[in-house]
Structures are given as C-alpha cells and as structure tokens.
Amino acid sequence: MAKRLIAAAMVLLASVAPSSAQQPRLTNEQHEAAVQFVMGNVRHTMLHEIGHLLVDQLNLPVLGREEDAVDTMATVMMLETGTQADVIALQDTVDGWLYSEATRPTRGYVNADFYGAHSLDIQRSYAIACLMVGSDYDKHTQYATRISLPIDRQNSCAEDYRIAEQGWNTVLEPYRRVGAIDAAIDIQYRDSRGEYPDVEALLRQERVLEFYADWVAKNFVLPNPVRMTAENCGEVNAFYDLGTREVILCYEWVDFFYDLFVTEVMPVREHFALVRKLKLEKLGRPE
C-alpha cells in the first residue's frame, strides 16, 4: 500500500472532520468565501500532486524529502504567475495548514507525526509563507507578520526562494513543451455515490481536473499517458498513484476543508474584520 499510494498530500482521520449536518446555515457571502478557501487549497494540492507525477514520469532528482520538494514546487509555480488569485490561494493554503492543527486529537502529537513522510502541518504552512515573502518582501511581509513569521526569518527567506526557484526551473527546463500538444490527459470525475454530490458538482463546475490536465499537457512532455481523477477515497486524502500514473483528488478532502473553513477559519476572519471595522469607525475612517 505504501508503494502504490505514494505522496499523499495529507492523511487526516475522517473521524476528525466536522459533520456537515452540524454546520450553521451560511449566507451567500459566507458560502462564496468558503468555496474560495477550498479552491485555493485545491490549487496548491493539485500542483503538489502534479509535482509527484513529474518526479515519477521525468525521473527527476530529489534532494531531501519528496513531500517537502513538491510543496516547494507548487508554491514556486503559483508565485511565478504573479496573479492576485494565486496570492490569495497561497494565503488560504497557509491558513488551511495552520487551522488544520485545530482538528488534531486532544492527545497531541504522536511518534508517527515525526517519522512520517510529511512535515507537520504547521511547518508546511510556514515554509509556504517563507517562500512567499522571499519572492517579494514588500508584497507579502504584512501577511507573513500576521501569521507570526518573525522579521528576522522573513529577511532570510529571499535565499530560500532563490534556491527553490532556480532548482525547480533547472530540473524542469529540459522537459518543457515546445509546439503542439501530442495528446490530451485523461480525466475522470467518478460518481460520488450520493455521499458528496455538492463536492462533485463544485469540482465539475470549476473544471478543476480539466484546468490542471490542460496545464500539464501544455507545459511538459511526458513519456507515458497519465490521468487525473476525482473520487470517493474513504479517507481525507489526495495522492499520486504510481501504478496507474494517476493524480487522485478525493471528495473527502474537499469536504474536510469546506468544514474547516466554516468551523475554524470563518469565525476568526469575521471577528478580525469586525474589529477592523470598529477601529476605522472610531478613527472616523469608515470603509
């Protein structure tokens, strides 16, 4: 099993995920914010798993832990676009890993958290934030400071980003596509069997698999056919399957992060938005 299901983006116990039935009724604005948060995390996760696909298909060298390496690749790729949408998606990803700590069982960390393939969630969040501020200090320092990344560490993040950006672009350059696409990547949205109809509908509506299949096909020459799939997995997960050469995004993963936003992230964001509004009103500077 460990060989087949290599490179899971995360494995969280399904029992920790809040039940959708316990959620408060959301306003349209709150629902849209939840969807944006989920899709931001989906963007980074898809690129993370595509990183594993590229390592496997292109036989790329990996110095250090592969999970950390492909987290870095996903972050660098999003920062290189320079779009505000990708900046917001990265912030949502950082918040996603930070707030996922709130779902940890009360017993705290166990040995498996330290010898597992992944860095701790909180380490992943700060690593992404460091690359962000390293790519453009003025643009990202306010956000990095808000999540308590110290200024002295922020000042050293430029070197982290330089090494990461140079390294990934160097190993990928020989495989960049020049010219027409040979063949489309196979896509499958598998029936959620009535368990996650809203999640399946959202991913289809946002054309998540189509977008990333097109991105890979346009940018890289792969030696073998590959597939991108969304399906029920029986666990909160996303992974690249070596045997089938398949990036799999689990419906449970999307559902977990929607619940995480509603129960953990949204109350905090709304609280700080209210505090900011009251401060501005007190200063006579209403928004």
pLDDT tens for 158-199 read 999 999 999 999 999 999 998 877 777 999 999 999 999 999
- Token duo for residue 136: 């453009």
What pLDDT shows up at residue 179?
81
Backbone angles phi, psi at 188, to 5 degrees: -140, 120
Q: Each residue of 219-236: pLDDT tens digit?
A: 999 999 999 999 999 999
The answer to the question of residue 274 being in a domain is yes
**pTM of the full structure:** 0.86
What is the phi/psi pair of residue 250, to 5°?
Answer: -85, 140
Cα–Cα nearest to 3, from 244, 168, 170, 189: 244
- Please write the tens of the pLDDT for every residue from 9-62: 444 333 333 344 455 688 899 999 999 999 999 999 999 999 999 999 999 999
Asked, for residue 204, whether it belongs to a domain, the answer is yes
**How many structural domains does the chain have?**
1
- Give the range of the structural domain holding residue 83, as residue numbers without chain letter: 10-15+27-282
Residue 3 lies in a domain: no
Residue 20 counted as domain residue: no
Given a contact cutoff of 8 angstroms between Cβ atoms, the answer to whether 217 and 181 are in contact is yes
Is residue 238 in some structural domain? yes
* 5 domain-assigned: no
Residue 1 lies in a domain: no
In a domain, 256, yes or no: yes
